[in-house]
Every structure is written in C-alpha cells, then in structure tokens.
C-alpha cells in the first residue's frame, strides 16, 4: 500500500518574490503532496521565474505535468478554476475542496494587498476564498514579502496583529536588497527557512516523523 503523504496548499499572491515559488514547491514535494494556488498577479510574476532560476523552473514545470499531458506530482490551480466544475447545487466548489484536501496552508509570498484582504475577511479570489473557509485547527503559515516602507507602516503592524489573533503563524521577512533597489526589511524569507518551518508544523501535528 502506498504511504499517505501530508498535503500542502502553497498559496501565492502577487509579489516579485514569486520567482522563488518553483524552488519552494519542488522542495516541499519531496515530502508532501503539493497544490499551488495562484492569484492573477502571482501568475504574472511566476513567469519571470524562468529567467530568475531556469533550472528550478524546469524541474518545477516538469513536476506539474505527466508525459501524457496529465497532472504531475505538483498541482497548479488558478482563479478561473474556482467554478469550472460547478453547474448545480451539490456540484464541487474548488475553494471548499482545497481547504478540505489540505493539511496545511502556506501563503508564500504574501503581499501587502493580500495581508489586508485576510485581515479584513475579504474573499475575492480563489486564494482568499480558501483562507476565508480555512479550518483553524489546521496550520496556516504565511511569509510576507513587500517594500520596506510598506512593511514598516502602522497599518501592516495592525493587520499582522489580527492574523496573530487568528492563530496564523508567520515566517518573518528578512533584510536584503529588494526589487525596488532599496536595502531593508521586507524580503521573502529564504527557501530553506520556509520549507523547514512548514515541515516543522507538519511534525507538530504528527503528519511526518
């Protein structure tokens, strides 16, 4: 009998740091089943990953599909997939299926815009609909990535407190040279730290050894 593996829902919002998503997804897929949820903005930045890290992109792309065109070991879903299978009451609704399927939700990178949406309960795309329906007995992890001034803004601090009250677990951003050219805090945490933190959460709920 094939061993059951934990299920990670890797949700991706619009940030230049999305170029690191192929590396994160591939690393996590070594231990878990991975489904990537992309916002419209994240789709745009994900395409830039081809140039940022061509090797990681090729491995990621190959893992998303089989030679016969079927679904590979990493699934990818987009906003337009939300209602594709729904016609009448009783049909499947994608955001409900995804929140039921996943053992852990990892939002990386989380943009300032998506932070604001989650803190205020908005559900205007597939990602935020999953988050709005998420059962909080399961781990919800987020890794912010934004400009230093946005990160240091009082609104950001207030919204982070709300997520903390919800029980969400943050992987803090790091200081680095950001896409705007400024050196400061707000950069996405390293791939290693994101993967390690996520696996630690799976261990805490006894889904991996």
Catalytic residue among 11, 35, 129, 180: 180
Counting Cβ atoms within 10 Å, is residue 107 exposed (0-12), middle (13-18) or buried (19+)? Answer: buried
DSSP state of 65: B
Give the separation between CA 108 and CA 21, rounded to whole angstroms.
8
Nearest Cα to Cα of residue 35 among 83, 119, 94: 94
Whether 180 is catalytic: yes
Nearest Cα to Cα of residue 142 among 103, 170, 114: 170
Give the separation between CA 107 and CA 168, rounded to whole angstroms.
10
First to last CA, the chain: 19
Q: Known catalytic residues?
A: 180
């Amino acid at each position: 009998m094939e061993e059951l593996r934990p299920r990670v829902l890797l949700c991706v919002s619009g940030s230049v740091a999305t170029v690191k998503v192929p590396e994160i997804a591939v690393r996590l897929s070594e231990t878990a089943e991975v489904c990537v949820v992309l916002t419209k903005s994240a789709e745009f930045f994900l395409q830039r990953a081809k140039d940022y890290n061509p090797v990681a992109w090729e491995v990621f792309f190959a893992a998303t599909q089989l030679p016969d065109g079927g679904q590979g070991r990493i699934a990818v879903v987009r906003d337009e997939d939300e209602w594709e299978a729904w016609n009448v009451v009783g049909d499947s609704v994608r955001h409900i299926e995804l929140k039921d399927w996943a053992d852990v939700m990892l939002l990386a990178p989380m943009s300032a815009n998506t932070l604001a949406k989650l803190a205020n309960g908005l559900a205007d795309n597939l990602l935020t609909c999953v988050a709005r329906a998420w059962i909080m007995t399961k781990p919800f992890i987020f890794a912010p990535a934004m400009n230093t001034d946005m990160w240091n803004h009082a609104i950001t601090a207030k919204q982070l407190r709300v997520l903390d009250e919800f029980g969400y677990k943050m992987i803090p951003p790091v200081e680095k040279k950001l896409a705007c050219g400024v050196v400061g805090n707000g950069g996405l945490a390293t791939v290693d730290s994101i993967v390690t933190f996520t696996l630690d959460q799976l261990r805490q709920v006894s889904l991996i050894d």
